[in-house]
Structure 1
């Protein structure tokens, strides 16, 4: 075998190995975490992954008689985080604080621009005054919506609060959790980052 033929074979083998390595290389960047719920918790969920978030129109806590806007008009261009909570919930304050710090501030939109990532906090079974006091105490900076009768929450599920939904640009649920914890916070940030990355591609 001549040197030129041997060199050509080595080059070809190298290209094949490179192609295989590229095919096997895992994709970089964050991915939306898988939602794993027990059978008991699944029964508490009426709107799950892959489903469209209900078309809700709720007043803002500080509107004082202003015209309520549909939630869909307040969605972000890449993602929306919807938090449903009650002022009596022990973890509500932590969730609202984290929403403001991890999402609202990190993905803050320029004045006059629609946010890439929006946050919406729905206070269910809670009067407006209590919702304002709770969100202010937690230094939450996003819109606080009022579902005092609980009708909106009835469309989403039962029992466990607070709960978090991450929606894509079409308003579909891509991730959720029906309680709030450190793992919830971590996976919420990961889901949002994955949607932002996807929107940028």
Structure 2
């Protein structure tokens, strides 16, 4: 229990001591003070400070000090918002299964899933470049993306396919990181 002693125009916390003295110089033991009722403590001149209310929702206490309220000590409490938790670390890679499973859960503006959109886009890129020479950069890029899409066991967060798709579908780094975090939670 916290007690206060008058101090100027306010209140000071009463530090623990085996014997405590009020403003009139009368001493009692700490144990006696603790055994007294709130009214007895107040009459002796060393009132208890009632505990403040619980912090508002989403807030945490950062400081408190005794202040005067009509001749009695109360806590003046300062609160601040509880900080948002740090996001989980971004996995460096996810399995093909995890990536495809999360992509099936992400709707695109046209109503299709991200999985269907990516699959269709990569297939179309391969078809659209078939007439180019085997070593033309556009055909090579389309073929490599398709092979990675179909054959990779894992997708690396910093890999070329992920970077290519993020750019193509306007996913910023935060959105891509979020997909990797969500995919990492999926278990087969």
Q: TM-score if structure 2 supplies the norm length?
A: 0.28
| TM-score, structure 1 as length reference | 0.27
Q: Which has the higher contact order (CA 8 A, sep 6+)?
A: 1
- Quick check: which one's strand share is greater? 2
Structure of higher CA gyration radius: 2
